[in-house]
Amino acid sequence: MDIIGLQTPALLVERSVLQANLDTMTQALPGARLRPHIKAHKTTALARAQAANGHRNFTCATVREMEGMARTGLGADLLLANEVLDTRRLGVLVEEGARVTVAVDSAETVVAAAEGGVKEIVVDVNIGLPRCGCPPSEAGRIADLARSRGLTVRGVMGYEGHLMMVTPESDKARMTEEAMALLLAASTDVGGDLISAGGTGTYAINTWATELQAGSYALMDTAYAALGFPFQHALSVLATVVSVSAGWAVADVGLKSLGMDHGNPTIPDAAVWFCSDEHTTFAPADGHAVRVGDRVRVLPAHIDPTVALHEAMYLVDSDEVLDRWAVDLRGW
């Protein structure tokens, strides 16, 4: 099928670009050096492509993601990099044979892991992002509590998410080293083999972690692309031009099909004016007039929430549709 046969808006993934992105990351972080974060794509078919490239340990953001990965044969080593106070569904996965590790940062989350049937944890440490994570000085105490409840402590986790978009690179490198010094100190108190950290924004400079949790690199968005990483736009949102006026046009993709927290999307050879619920208003560049019925590819500023708004993504080779991949890990 040609993309002209797709109902819009629709997610498109260019197969060759996706594979190039996967290969580039494999060269940089082979094997267990990368634990891909599937919250970026929520798609087991894409996770299988990552596994085929040698990345078989995965990071998840929700219990639903953990369940979907485990029950499609991708549960060899899953880390839920979020605190959970009801882990009973994770305990079921353990009973079914998946390797499940959950992040903890308090006595309450330790107790929840133990009572829900989880066997392994990492201690989540606050290394500068004001979100989850215990103070570094508390990490050893939490690890001891976990061991007292019969849990295996695999190591520590910290996310320098506040540094992903920092420029220039020299500032990012310095600040990442400072953040990781906190995590390494906590690791000494906690023990275990894992020092899990990072994302696409620091994958090339975080040499302190034993594994990196990058996710956006596979599909990419305009926010990360602006920083010059060696990954290209594999994903776009296919839209149809539904109205044309003197000086502007309107496509049928809007707030309900785009993640907007990082700003407006981009349309090649056009200037995006604004997005509303179901529409994007844009001005075609000189010499690039559009007509009602034309298809345009819209590049989102933030991949993760964009993908989560769609039920499927279409693997394409230019305008040829090769496959339909369900975004099967949506929800909680």
Question: In sequence order, what DSSP letters do the residues of 3-44 get, joined into one string?
Answer: GGGSPSSEEEEEHHHHHHHHHHHHHHS-GGGB--BGGGT--H
Helix ranges, 105-238 (H): 107-116, 139-148, 169-190, 222-225
d(Cα 239, Cα 251) in Å, to the nearest integer? 6
Confidence of residue 52 (pLDDT cuts 50, 70, 90): very high
Neighbours of 295 (CB within 10 A): 18
Full-model pTM: 0.95
Segment 10-15 mean pLDDT:
98
Kindly tell me if the per-residue pLDDT of 83 is higher than 90.
yes
Q: Could you tell me what percent of the chain has a pLDDT over 70?
A: 100
What the chain holds in terms of domains, given with CATH numbers, is 3-11+231-326 (2.40.37.20), 15-218 (3.20.20.10)
Q: What is the pLDDT of residues 304-318, one digit of tens each?
A: 999 999 999 999 999
CA gyration radius for the chain? Answer: 21
pLDDT tens digits along 207-234 = 999 999 999 999 999 999 999 999 999 9
Write the DSSP symbol of residue 285.
P
CA distance 223 to 170: 19
Answer yes or no: are the C-beta atoms of 217 and 27 closer than 8 Å.
no
Question: Above 90 in pLDDT, residue 287?
Answer: no
